[in-house]
Chains A and B, each alone.
Chain A
């Protein structure tokens, strides 16, 4: 079969690979009908996240048709079912899964010992996201083996298109969880840094959840335009001071809730010296991530406010003003998304017409065009916001 394979820094190839096989009774094989390139795939593209191996298949946002099931799937899935595959692999049985903390499932990371050493305790297995999270082959491929398939799936009705439901596997619940963990109240101003796909979903989630005011921060006109269409007031950080404008919009009090939808690769700019220092340190392997947005959020957030972090961070960050955070009594919420915790509710909202996540798709291409689209997406060319691949 064809698959997009990681071979090193900025080296993704459309390779011919062997077909996946059922390994365990709880496995299923899915014929992928649609998959997407996620912003967090770019961290792997840049080789900022350790433990990738040449030959690893990329992709953690995918859906398709079940073509084979293991004997232990026990009627939860059958051949012909149409499913979205959540990026977090879950057993559904461990204590964390029982609590709804699916992204920290205690069972599914098959490299648990390595993860225990690196993280302190293991997190869930993830598709196509390094050997720290199990080294599971990803879904930017024609076929995908889904481990623990009896729990790791979202069944979707035929009445909805792939484009409407594909993002239930990652960016939609990720934006939703980012807003939910802000515990939005009708008086709240919610500020969202980064208007990429997750930022766009967080904007819509905050609007749906009834925030008084949603403010979106970015520098790219196409992303700001899409954010505005979603009901956000926008700030172009290349043209105006984020802190001044946010204070102006909140009567000097600062946003009640702040969402970092950018993560470890915040923009580097001459006008923000800390970003230059971060970039230099990152290059010298003295710091993993560029946390400019975290610093800005902590500074501008209203005291007793909430900082919600759906953006991916990989390791060590420097110069985080914990003094400001502690004295202001900020609450930090973060983590990979507990996808299956939200998807029944979100699927209902799509069916009821509250939201149609397909709005975010700007490019649809074949799998063979995937390597080139990684570059287009990374370079933010051709007004690219979200790429969907059709194997």
Chain B
């Protein structure tokens, strides 16, 4: 039982059931990985957005602050998507973003960059996160995809024990209550005129 669940129990009335112990749940390891990557993405994005100068200085790519801020926006967007029910799309966008990050870092690995070692560290970290992103995206895709087997058609499930033809209009004895009546349609003007 989580801390928040214990607190929310306080808000329940006396006769309401309260959680005593937690059992098996719908969240699996893929969901947990996606959630962790989503929050990581938002954290990294905020850092890139709010402290681009510190990052560019550490990587030896001063002057690229606007690019880092743009990457930060991208990270936040991908993070929000990864935390949403569309987490598969979010993780795929993270993988694409990782490729962009790797390309950018490779371009900073030039021999005249005095911070080459830092770039190498960053590159190793991005490659590691990329592997996690790929694992997450693959896992979510597998978990959410419909089977390759053809869907059952349920064409034998009419729901009418006496058959479809007898069901058509079988409830015409029902009288629509006055408060449920709609505007009479033009197609029924004859019956409307007769009623008037």
> Do the two shown chains form a genuine complex with each other?
yes
B147 touches which of A5, A230, A256, A382 (Cβ 8 Å): A382
Which residues from B are CB-within-8-Å of A207? 164, 167-168
Which residues from A are CB-within-8-Å of B171? 205, 208-210, 349, 354
Which residues from B are CB-within-8-Å of A375? 26, 143
B193 CB-CB contact with A under 8 Å? no
Give CA–CA (A353, B188) in the complex, Å: 31
Which of A12-20, A74-82, A85-93, A317-325 sits within the interface?
A12-20
Give CA–CA (A7, B26) in the complex, Å: 10
Task: State whether A13 and B16 are in contact (beta carbons under 8 Å apart), knowing that A55-B5, A356-B159 are contacts in the complex.
Answer: no
Binary contact track A1-24/B, C-beta < 8 Å → 1, others 0: 111010101111111111111110
21 CB < 8 A contacts A-B = A3-B17, A15-B20, A21-B15, A55-B9, A55-B12, A145-B15, A207-B168, A221-B150, A225-B152, A225-B153, A256-B187, A283-B81, A306-B182, A333-B180, A354-B167, A356-B161, A360-B157, A371-B25, A379-B143, A379-B144, A381-B147
How many A-B pairs fall under 8 Å by CB? 229
B195 CB-CB contact with A under 8 Å? no
Interface size counted on chain B using CB atoms at 8 A? 67
Taking a contact as CB atoms under 8 Å apart, the answer to whether B15 and A54 are in contact is no
Give CA–CA (A284, B81) in the complex, Å: 9
Main secondary structure of the interface of B (DSSP, over half): loop
Taking a contact as CB atoms under 8 Å apart, the answer to whether A359 and B146 are in contact is no
Given A11-B27, A54-B5, 19 further pairs, Cβ under 8 A: A5-B22, A15-B19, A16-B19, A46-B85, A53-B8, A100-B177, A181-B180, A185-B185, A207-B168, A229-B155, A229-B164, A304-B183, A331-B182, A345-B174, A354-B171, A378-B85, A379-B146, A382-B147, A383-B154
Taking a contact as CB atoms under 8 Å apart, the answer to whether B16 and A354 are in contact is no
Which residues from A are CB-within-8-Å of B154? 222, 225-226, 229, 362, 383, 385
Give CA–CA (A344, B22) in the complex, Å: 39
Which residues from B are CB-within-8-Å of A221? 150-151, 153
Taking a contact as CB atoms under 8 Å apart, the answer to whether B185 and A15 are in contact is no
Which residues from A are CB-within-8-Å of B167? 204, 207-208, 231, 354-355
Taking a contact as CB atoms under 8 Å apart, the answer to whether B158 and A230 are in contact is yes
Give CA–CA (A54, B151) in the complex, Å: 35
A312 CB-CB contact with B under 8 Å? no
* Residues from 134 to 155 in B contacting A, C-beta threshold 8 Å: 143-147, 150-155
In the assembled complex, the CB of A253 is this many whole angstroms from the nearest CB of chain B, namely: 9
Closest 6 CB pairs of A and B: A225-B153, A23-B15, A210-B169, A359-B159, A13-B25, A208-B171
Which residues from B are CB-within-8-Å of A53? 8, 11
Nearest A residue to B164 by beta-carbon distance? A231
B73 CB-CB contact with A under 8 Å? no
Seen from chain A, the residues whose Cβ lies within 8 Å of a Cβ on chain B are: 1-3, 5, 7, 9-23, 27, 45-46, 53-57, 99-100, 110, 135-137, 141, 143, 145, 180-183, 185-188, 200, 204-205, 207-210, 220-222, 225-226, 228-231, 256-257, 268, 279, 283-284, 302, 304-306, 329, 331, 333, 345, 349, 353-357, 359-360, 362, 368, 371-372, 374-375, 378-383, 385
Which residues from B are CB-within-8-Å of A182? 182
A183 touches which of B11, B25, B146, B181 (Cβ 8 Å): B181
B31 CB-CB contact with A under 8 Å? yes
Which residues from A are CB-within-8-Å of B4? 54
Which residues from A are CB-within-8-Å of B84? 283
Task: State whether A20 and B158 are in contact (beta carbons under 8 Å apart), knowing that A100-B177, A183-B180 are contacts in the complex.
Answer: no
Which residues from B are CB-within-8-Å of A329? 183
Taking a contact as CB atoms under 8 Å apart, the answer to whether B159 and A13 are in contact is no
Taking a contact as CB atoms under 8 Å apart, the answer to whether A17 and B17 are in contact is yes
Nearest B residue to A220 by beta-carbon distance? B151
Between B26, B160, B176, the greatest number of chain A beta carbons within 10 A of the residue's beta carbon is seen for B26
Give CA–CA (A333, B188) in the complex, Å: 20
A180 touches which of B26, B27, B146, B174 (Cβ 8 Å): B174
Task: State whether A283 and B80 are in contact (beta carbons under 8 Å apart), knowing that A182-B182, A210-B169 are contacts in the complex.
Answer: yes
Which residues from B are CB-within-8-Å of A9? 83, 85
Which residues from A are CB-within-8-Å of B8? 53-56
B29 CB-CB contact with A under 8 Å? no
Nearest B residue to A21 by beta-carbon distance? B15
Between B20, B157, B160, B168, the greatest number of chain A beta carbons within 10 A of the residue's beta carbon is seen for B157
In the assembled complex, the CB of A358 is this many whole angstroms from the nearest CB of chain B, namely: 8
